[in-house]
Amino acid sequence: MCLNRSYDLQPLATLFSGLMILTIGLSEFKKERPFLACFVFVLSGFCIYVGVFTFIS
């Protein structure tokens, strides 16, 4: 797979960071910190949305 443009990796990096943030949110939810977990879920959802939208367009 040849990637000649550097911005081809940006959507994948955004998706990966969104999934990592989602993992942190799940661990915070298990520690019974619902406010922080809710904030992290919103942040990861935004990252995943931006990654998918950038990948499609």
CB 10 within 8 A of CB 40: no
Q: In the chain, what are the helix, strand and coil shares in percent, each to the nearest 5?
A: 80, 0, 20
Whether residue 4 is contained in a domain is answered as no
pLDDT band at 1 (very low <50, low <70, confident <90, very high): very low
In angstroms, rounded to a whole number, what is the distance separating the alpha carbons of residues 35 and 4?
42
The predicted structure's pLDDT at residue 4:
53
Q: What Å distances lie between residue 54 and 3, 13, 30, 36, CA to CA? A: 16, 11, 32, 27
Whether residue 18 is contained in a domain is answered as yes
Q: Give residue 16's domain range.
A: 10-56
Q: What Å distances lie between residue 52 and 6, 27, 33, CA to CA? A: 17, 24, 28
Give the tens place of pLDDT for each residue, 31-52.
Answer: 777 777 788 888 888 888 887 8
Please tell me the total count of domains within the chain.
1
Whether residue 32 is contained in a domain is answered as yes
pLDDT band at 6 (very low <50, low <70, confident <90, very high): low
